[in-house]
Chain A
Amino acid sequence: MTDAPSLTRRQAALGLLASAVSLSACGKPAEEIVPYVEQPERIVPGVPLRFATSLALNGYGRGVIVSSIEGRPTKVEGNAGHPASLGSTDAFAEAAVLSLYDPDRSRAVREGTRIASWDGFLTALRPRLRRFEATGGEGLRLLTGHVTSPTLLRLMGQVQARYPAMRWHGYEPIGDSNARAGAVLAFGRPLASLAQLDRAVVVLALDADPLGPGPDQIRHARGFAAHRTARWENKAALSRFYAAEPVLTATGAKADHRLAATPTLVRDLAIALASRLGSGRPAPVLPPEAQRFLDAAAADLQSRPGEALVLVGEWQPPEVHALAHWINARLGAPVEHIEPVGPAEPPAPLDALIEALAAKQVDTLVVLGANPAYDASAGFAQALGGSGAFSVHFGPYHDETAALCRWHLPESHPLEDWGDLRATDGTASLAQPLILPLYNTRSAPWLLGALLGTDEATAHAAVRDTWAAQRPPETFEAWWRQVLHDGVVADSAAPRVTPPPSALPDLAPPVAPAELTLVLRPDPSVWDGCFANNAWLQECPKPLTRQVWGNAAMLSPEDARRRKLSNGDVVRLALGGRQIDAPVLVRPGTAPGVVALTLGYGRRRAGAIGDGLGADAYALRSPDAPWIMAGLTMEGTGGRTNLLFEQPDRRLEGEARALFPTVRADELARGESRPPVWPPSLNPDRVSDTHAWAMVIDTSLCIGCNACVIACQSENNVPVVGPDEVARGREMHWLRIDTYDLGPPEDPRPGFQPVPCMHCEHAPCEPVCPVEASIHDAEGLNVQVYNRCIGTRFCQANCPYKVRRFNWFGYADGQEYANQGAPVLAAQRNPEVTVRARGVMEKCTYCTQRISAARRSAEREGREIGAREVVTACQSACPSQAITFGDLKHPDSPITALRREPQHYALLGHLGTRPRTTYLAAVRNPNPAAEEGGS
């Protein structure tokens, strides 16, 4: 199996080679046109097709719609019909298309270190299977991640039935064990609870981050937006958020009142709140600030029965979850309960497998979609090494676990094969292939089929069988086609169950507060580490810290001061005999006494992109308390590393505070609606006799999730520059989310301000360009003509918003970072957008290719462009719908009304640039009762 050719051959067969458009192709080289031999139906060269499919995060499905151009998937967008997408995406979904073309994907079956064949594997497997049929599968072990796929569950059921003695183990590094246990404590059985933010007006988040990354982020963000979309005409009351948390999260950033609380204090708050609501348990003594916080929150919660909600993060121990269930029951909170999504009874834990391996009871181990050698406690690796078991790893990368297993089987990318998934609310959706497997890979159903003795099982057949079994054959075809079209199985959501009256948990005695507590979190860029080799995500500035290409141990400024540590100092974190070195990142808003670290870094076999970045937090993780570990010790090693940020400066003080205006809800109600007023100008006004495109970004809705950033990157062929270039202060993101700390260090109250190009009507970049490469078009776009640009960079020098990006090297043009120049990645490029050459300036174009597409189809059909026809990539990605784009000239365009809002403002408007991209100020809804608390 060679590397690149397989693709180029396929591309040829896939029609016109219009793929990577590159400025470097100036002049007129000989070009070929390679038509089909037999043109597939529906494929019109140059016209993208869009298919509904679904992608998994932690095993849960999120419906997406993927654009495919001449058979190459190039862009992921949300599926409005899917409850976990609602038409939007998150950073992980957007980046999936890059993983598809990842040059480091495993391409070959391996036995040990040498390349083998699928048949070779089967011949090695068969004798064992025969033996297992005799022994009923004694010694056969299956290890998977969290499985929700009906098809996989069905097949694994069959495997179990065939080998009754087989044992199935499940391990998910970012699982829901605490929530499950909490539910058991409260209801006596593991119910999954779905908070309905869209029905809640008072929310108390106890170390919970509904707006943070996760399978439910989009749904929660939309629910959050439902009660935070402050508009002048609808004077509806805004919801109010309280957050108590050890580490600053998106939820904490958006909250009206936030308390930096150690995990133990969070627990005490829960107990105190419960007793306030009549639990009859003694309320712990709280520090005055926490007491004020609780008083305000409790009063607010009680005042809105049926609309008040308490959320607890997975990180908290079960008893706190149980307390929350009890409190929510008392408040009649908008929470829905369902039977847990996934297998009926949970698989055996990983520890059992490790014991079995250590005891040499495992004859054959099949690892399916898990990487325990990296993301589980070190025990697994040793046990597997010594067990001598016939171990098979099935996964997309030859990762840490694969390296330990006897066999490695390459798995197809989700966009390459059939499958099905369930969302967090149980809704089932199908995954259909957008492209034939690029390499000789197969998918999970094939492997399970092999265990069942059928060598040629296909995912397609398996998925169809699963669903055909539940329908009358005569209607099935039509139904199947409908589901493929919608991407969702209608009415497949899990039935809501009314939980039994929740019991109060008996609380463990309060533990003595440790000096330092380690708090682990999923990483907003690489999640649990599975996205470590995705260059887009690695270079995506993490929300709130804007760090890239690594993680860091976050401290409160107090602790940093006390220990004389500053950003970049390397410290040694030790816990229960385990220890790692990590650089320090001083993050205001972290509770004193807390050290926070994100998972997913320190990968050893991720690939050219992900290897050796950051610190491996798993090394400190203890299986019994996976998220919060007291008794951490930390001392400086004297070493220093250079932390990489795309925004070194996050303070916004004094007069600069005006750059991020915030409004109180009551002030907003008093404001009046008027069109934007600009300072007088000597330049002639731009009067447009055609469309006038404009964008309004509502900063009170932006949760800084980065979906827009990655969406922009994949839509517009924006290259990554790599850590070395970032260290030199260079980046390429067209859209950045400026994150400012608006408050004092103890209460930073960050604000998110996405900054694309402002498309100024009086653009400072235009008159200074000596060759008119930066120029206005009739529709108000500030156009950057790459092929005219000679690279004087005067435009960026003169841009007050600094939104322009320069190709210092050929980032996309022969000088790519690491493996980003691999030919296979050219297939991801959007053929409607020029790939910029070295030495030219580029910037946000308002997705001019989408405007052009709309204009051209309108011209073809002799009609006008619709009010909502043009949707920019960032807009379509935004989970909270903070971004609105439209035509100021169009009567039904929502944009005009937004620009009349009282809280509407233009960034640096006083300069007279008359930006077309404008903002709505962040509306806060603090509780008057708690104001003096500073909260």
Chain B
Amino acid sequence: MSGAGGLLPQGASYGGLVSTVADPLMLRPAGRRYWIAFGVTFVMTLGFVGCIAWLFIKGIGIFGNNTTIVWGFPIANYVWWVGIGNAGTLISSMLLLTRQPWRAAINRFAEAMTLFAVSIAGLFPILHLGRPYLAYWLAPYPNTMQLWPQWRSALVWDFWAILAYLLFSIMFFTLGLLPDLATLRDRAETRAGQVVYGALAMGWRGSARHWALHDSVYRAMAAMAVPLVVSVHSVVGMDFAAGLMPGWQESIFPPYFVVGALFSGFAMVVLLAALMRRGFGLESVLTTRHFESMAKVILAASIVMGLSYLTEWFMSWYAGERAERTFLIHQLTGDDAALYWSMLACNVLAPHVLWFTRARRSVAILIVVSLLVNVGMWMERILIIWDTLSHDYLPSMWRPWYATIWDWAVLAGSLGFFAFMFMCFARLLPVVAMHDLSRLLYRQRGGA
């Protein structure tokens, strides 16, 4: 997909593009719909904080976990959020390197999404600890106990992966933001706006030298981003693959988790894109062409997911291990079978509607598919934990698992928190990279 056809409105001008993006922030008031949404997400955020407080007071026992199934919602949520967090940086970096013109309009809020998703994901491993106040023991630092973390543990790898990814995303995001902050500074009506945006813009003047430096650094970081993104979710995959449990000890997990992340991540981007488009009247810059491109990625990812599932089943049978086979049978016919099949429907079946151009171009259909994919991916995460832990080697310890109200509350709370942060972002920063758009327009007009 090269060439920028259909990515920009006809007769677009630099000023026009900028004001499409900036005016909602600078000039237009938020409006009732925004404030209602803001209020709702704010309440949900407070709820999230409340749940966490209760969790710390009462203890981890408020979740549905039991002696056999020691992991539950928190870990599933963690994996799910990291997955979503992956897409943003992938989009802006990989698409940048592969010179995909349709990147321009979506990379900004995709990166924002990454930031928020990853910070939420980072919370869950701490929330699920029996003694969360000792989480810092995962960090290597000289201490009076003369003890260090255990480098063989996938959880320590996790710790570093998430930390590195979070810091990187923040830097990548801010770097990309600089020119637009400057634009906002210049367009700001109020003194406060000028000062704040000005301070954040760090004296960006848009000189040729600035642009040159910016580009080289930005591309360099993009190049670093790709392996980082891939490694992050591979490590998450290894949390399970490094285990001994049937359904976990599979070498396919790392790549399969990365694709899964891309899958759910893009689905989430589609949802947000649709929202932005509607909310800020960005129809002109977020065109059907964008959605179509993303739809294709989702379709491709879903096919790879399907293959991964097939491989899993084959290996379970081929491994010749009793527990593996019992596990597979349980997965396909056991207590959670219904969940498993609906997961397959969401992840493998539903996206195939995107073979049709009409479907790819219809935002409504895309929204439905994306929702299904995100739900499906969450179900996959939780099933990876339940199915394996509830049916591993010794039948004597096979147990059912029931989610408690708190499991759901924390999940909902995290969603609310995510939405809340996004609401704030949408009103304070340009949701679309204005300078990238202008550059696209420049290229379109035959510039280099």
Contacts and interface: CB of A to CB of B under 8 A. Distances in A.
Interface stretch (A53-61, A479-487, A492-500, A730-738): A730-738
Contacts of B71: 793, 797
Given A789-B131, A796-B70, A769 B393 contact: no
Interface in B348-396: 389, 392-396
Interface stretch (B85-93, B133-141, B408-416): B133-141
A789 B125 CA distance: 15
SS of A interface (majority)? loop
B223 interface: no
23 contacts: A647-B397, A648-B400, A651-B395, A655-B326, A656-B322, A659-B394, A729-B67, A730-B67, A740-B395, A767-B152, A768-B153, A769-B150, A770-B153, A788-B147, A792-B130, A797-B70, A797-B389, A800-B392, A800-B394, A808-B60, A838-B130, A838-B131, A908-B394
Interface stretch (B239-247, B282-290, B417-425, B439-447): B239-247
A533 interface: no
A837 B322 CA distance: 37
A838 B154 CA distance: 24
B66 A730 contact: yes
Given A659-B395, A738-B394, 11 more contacts: A728-B66, A755-B396, A770-B150, A770-B159, A772-B149, A792-B155, A797-B71, A809-B61, A839-B131, A840-B130, A911-B393
A911 B58 contact: no
Given A768-B154, A800-B393, A808 B129 contact: no
A809 B62 CA distance: 8
A767 B153 contact: yes
Residue of A792, A797, A815 contacting most chain B CB atoms (<10 Å): A797
A806 B394 contact: no
A648 B66 CA distance: 13
B131 A790 contact: yes
A808 B55 CA distance: 11
A358 B402 CA distance: 55
B129 A648 contact: no
Interface string A20-34: 000000000000000
Contacts of B399: 648, 729
A790 B135 contact: yes
B69 interface: yes
Contacts of B129: 790-792, 839
B64 interface: yes
Nearest to B157: A770
B293 interface: no
A770 B130 contact: no
Contacts of A801: 393-394
Interface string A794-830: 1011101110011111100001000000000000000
Interface in A620-663: 647-652, 655-656, 658-659
Interface in A856-908: 907-908
Interface in A739-777: 739-740, 753, 755, 764, 767-772
B156 interface: yes
Interface string A131-166: 000000000000000000000000000000000000
A294 interface: no
B232 to A, nearest CB: 17
A517 B132 CA distance: 56
Contacts of B401: 729
Contacts of A597: none
A820 to B, nearest CB: 16
B59 A770 contact: no
Interface string A820-852: 000000000000000001111100000000000
Given A755-B396, A770-B138, A809-B59, A802 B68 contact: yes
A789 B60 CA distance: 14
Given A648-B399, A652-B395, A839-B60, A767 B67 contact: no
Given A656-B395, A790-B135, A806-B67, A770 B400 contact: no
B314 interface: no
A768 B243 contact: yes
Interface of B: 58-61, 64-71, 125, 128-132, 134-135, 137-138, 147, 149-150, 152-156, 159, 242-245, 322, 325-326, 389, 392-402
A249 B138 CA distance: 51
A656 B147 CA distance: 42
* Of listed A652, A740, A753, A838, residue having the most chain B CB within 10 A: A838
Contact of A841 (B58, B130, B159): B130
B131 A794 contact: no
B interface SS class: loop
B85 to A, nearest CB: 21
Which of B71, B322, B325 gathers most chain A CB within 10 Å?
A: B322
A808 B61 contact: yes
Contact of A771 (B149, B397, B400): B149
Q: Which 7 A-B pairs have the closest CB atoms?
A: A791-B130, A839-B130, A729-B66, A808-B61, A793-B70, A738-B396, A770-B155
A882 to B, nearest CB: 18
Between B60, B71, B153, B402, the greatest number of chain A beta carbons within 10 A of the residue's beta carbon is seen for B153
A33 to B, nearest CB: 25
A772 B140 CA distance: 13
Nearest to B136: A790
Contacts of A806: 67, 70, 130
A725 B60 CA distance: 13
Nearest to A767: B152
Nearest to B245: A798
Contact of B137 (A649, A790, A807, A911): A790
Contacts of B393: 800-801, 908, 911
A838 B393 CA distance: 28
A794 B153 contact: yes
Nearest to A795: B70
Contacts of B154: 768, 794
A800 B135 contact: no
Given A649-B396, A771-B138, A798 B243 contact: yes
Contact of A772 (B150, B159, B400): B150
A716 B184 CA distance: 67
B335 to A, nearest CB: 11
A908 B323 CA distance: 10
B244 A798 contact: yes
Contacts of A650: 396
Nearest to B67: A730
A842 to B, nearest CB: 11
A839 B395 contact: no
Contacts of B396: 647, 649-650, 736, 738-740, 753, 755
B130 A802 contact: no
Given A656-B322, A796-B70, A815-B59, A649 B398 contact: yes
Contacts of A790: 129-132, 134-135, 137-138
Nearest to A652: B395
Contacts of A838: 59, 130-131
Contacts of B132: 790
B159 A729 contact: no
Contacts of A809: 58-59, 61
B123 to A, nearest CB: 15
Nearest to A725: B61
